[in-house]
């Protein structure tokens, strides 16, 4: 926030829970005070923990899908209501953060998480077509093995084995993914919509 404000911008941090509709609506209401909503990045997500299918609990699955899927749909809904020229908006960009897991399936680890990200891929394609004529672009970025704490729960040695399979021979960085998201949301990508961009090091 300080970096934004030091360059003359305005910044506001709003604590919320995308899985709770009332909380999400309060967040959008706070953003409304800034004027026109131009960009939504759907980045909230949880993995649900490492497990094979036979060990999955219904309560965990419900939480996973509330955060990763329902939350993304509700946030996109509120963005469309503000961005769409059909509703008096000025257009905008929605960038969904999916995952390479939706392609790989991640057996023995996160098939539940992968399936949720598959839902985000499908939503991206459908919503992009639905609102393309209303001034809204909808795209997704699909990172894979990124240097974040999400991989701390993996069994010892598993991450190293996966990295060996990455053609570029290394994991990605959160900053690198952020730069892709910024480009996707920018005017330089004004003719790009319905695109699922893999950022997976060739995996």
CB neighbour burial string for 8-23, b if at least 16 within 10 angstroms, e if fewer: eeeeeeeebebbeeee
Q: Which residues pair with 142 in a beta bridge?
A: 198
Cα of 55 vs its chain's centroid, Å: 26
CB neighbour burial string for 34-54, b if at least 16 within 10 angstroms, e if fewer: eeebebbbbebbebbebbeee
Question: Which residue, 140, 139, 203, 194, is CA-closest to 172?
Answer: 203
Which tokens hold the place of 64?
């996973």
Q: Quote the strand ranges of 43-200, DSSP E.
A: 92-97, 136-143, 196-199
Is 191 labeled as catalytic in the residue annotation? no
Of 19, 83, 95, 113, the active-site residue reads 113
Which tokens hold the place of 80?
């469309």
Catalytic residues: 113
């Amino acid at each position: 926030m300080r970096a934004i404000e030091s360059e003359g911008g305005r910044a506001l941090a709003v604590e919320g829970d995308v899985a709770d509709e009332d909380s999400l609506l309060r967040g959008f209401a706070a953003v409304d005070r800034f004027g026109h909503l131009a960009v939504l990045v759907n980045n909230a997500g949880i993995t649900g923990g490492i497990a094979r299918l036979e060990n999955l609990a219904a309560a965990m699955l419900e939480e996973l899908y509330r955060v990763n899927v329902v939350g993304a749909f509700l946030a996109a809904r509120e963005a469309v209501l503000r961005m769409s020229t059909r509703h008096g908006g000025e257009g905008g960009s929605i960038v969904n953060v999916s995952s390479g897991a939706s392609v790989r399936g991640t057996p023995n680890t996160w098939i539940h998480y992968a399936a949720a990200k598959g839902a985000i891929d499908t939503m991206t394609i459908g919503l992009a077509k639905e609102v393309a004529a209303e001034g809204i672009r909808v795209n997704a970025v699909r990172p894979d093995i990124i240097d974040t704490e999400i991989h701390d729960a993996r069994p010892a040695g598993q991450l190293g084995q996966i990295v060996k399979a990455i053609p570029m021979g290394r994991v990605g960085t959160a900053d690198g993914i952020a730069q892709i998201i910024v480009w996707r949301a920018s005017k330089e990508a004004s003719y790009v919509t319905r695109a699922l961009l893999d950022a997976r090091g060739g995996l």
